[in-house]
Amino acid sequence: MNRREASRALAAIPLAVAAELLTAPRAVARALPQGDYPRIRAAITSIEDAVDFMEKAPDTFGGHKAAAIAACRAAVRQLNLAIAANRQRRR
Alpha carbon of residue 80 to chain centroid: 12
| pTM, full prediction | 0.60
Helices 65-90 & 3-22, crossing angle to 10 degrees?
10
Q: pLDDT (tens digit, 9 = 90+) per residue, 36-89?
A: 899 999 999 999 999 999 999 999 999 999 999 999 999 999 999 999 998 888
For 8-29, write each residue's pLDDT tens digit. Answer: 666 666 655 555 555 454 444 4
Interatomic CA distance for residues 71 and 67, integer angstroms: 6
Asked if 82 and 40 count as a contact pair (C-beta separation under 8 A), the reply is yes
Q: Give the up-direction half-sphere exposure of residue 9: CA atoms within 13 A in the CB hemisphere.
A: 7
